[in-house]
Amino acid sequence: MLVSGGPSSSSALLSVGGQEAVLRVDPAFVPVLDVKLGALVVLLIATLLFGFAPLCIVRGAGHVRRRWLSLISCFAGGVFLATCLLDLLPDYLQGISGLNFPLPEFIVAMGFFLVLVLEQIVLDFKDRSSSQQEEGHHHHRRGSVESEGHLHADLDSQSALRAFILVFSLSLHSVFEGLAVGLLEEDEEILEICLALLIHKSIISFSLSFQLSQNRLRRSVVSGCVLLFAVMSPLGIALGVGLTETKTSPRHQLACSSLEGLATGTFIYITFMEILPHELSSTRSRIPKVAMMLLGFAVVTAVLFIKL
């Protein structure tokens, strides 16, 4: 068997048993696939590194002043705010348009109310369970101690629920981001978008991990959430690579846009009902907190500007 190159790099002459055949190879396919696989690995590693970094910071919280941790949390709030208004919402509105009824805004509102109703149902169930258990106590002092324990448990469950919703909304959006990268076919465009996405995901991963660590969650839970979030964009890239040869139907695109709209609504709820009120309710360092929020917003804005 003899193999010889043709006049161009896209073909080769194969000789087997005296018969010749021409093998044609697309020169752009292999490099594009390599770039996508490289982006998949780099995104996964960078997201994990930046996601686990806050665990080390919080572990040394006794040596780090509480004021600086609060400022970092405000920076994360600015990052989430910019991600919601400048990244999630425009991508979603671009996917649904051309209707007389404001369907995109309606789906976002449904995502907001979905989280609100879900959280209130869980908290109402917890409150009723706590009141029933308190009625069984005969001693007032013992009941007071138990009430404080139930209050702490309710706060923990509330924080855990909001943390789960935050991770879910971010993970869902990350899948769509990775899917967009996986569907690209130009080397230069893939590299540019992956670079911006790498910076963006690193910032989001750090902010997410820090916010979860502030919610009194166990380190194993935070680590699992970071791992789940880190896998989503590579998963989206892999799905995009698999779909490059197939055409998506309008129904499929509508379903994806609707899911992203629900994720945007849940993200608005977490940003405006959990992160920002918690940090701005304190009377300390008001101006530095606002400055850190603006800084986080500006960083994400700059990253999104690089994408353009």
pLDDT digits (tens, 9 = 90+) for 35-89: 778 888 888 898 888 888 887 766 555 545 567 767 777 787 787 788 778 877 7
**For 52, phi and psi rounded to 5 degrees?**
-85, -15
The answer, yes or no, to whether residue 19 has pLDDT greater than 60, is no
What separation in angstroms does the CA of 90 have from each of 95, 101, 108, 148? 9, 18, 12, 44
Question: Residue 156 has what pLDDT?
Answer: 54
**For 198, phi and psi rounded to 5 degrees?**
-65, -45
Alpha-carbon span 72 to 93, nearest angstrom: 30
Question: Residue 77 has what pLDDT?
Answer: 76
Question: Residue 176 has what pLDDT?
Answer: 75
Which whole number is the average pLDDT over 7-24?
A: 47
Residues near 305 by beta carbon (within 8 Å), at least 6 away in sequence: none
The answer, yes or no, to whether residue 194 has pLDDT greater than 60, is yes
User: Mapping DSSP to helix (H, G, I), strand (E, B) and coil, where does residue 4 land?
Assistant: strand
Highest mean predicted confidence (pLDDT) among 93-97, 140-144, 174-178: 174-178
Which two tokens mark 223?
């680590």
Query: pLDDT digits over 214-260, tens only?
Result: 777 788 888 888 899 899 888 888 887 776 656 566 776 776 677 66
Contacts of the segment 190-193: beta carbons below 8 A, 24+ positions apart: 190/32, 190/35, 190/36, 190/39, 191/35, 192/306, 192/307, 193/307
Question: Residue 31 has what pLDDT?
Answer: 64
Query: pLDDT digits over 116-152, tens only?
Result: 777 777 677 767 766 666 655 544 444 444 444 444 4
Residue 2 is given by DSSP the state E
Q: Are 70 and 285 in contact (CB under 8 A)?
A: yes
Average pLDDT over all residues of the chain: 70
Question: Residue 144 has what pLDDT?
Answer: 43
How many CB atoms sit inside 10 A of residue 125's CB? 11
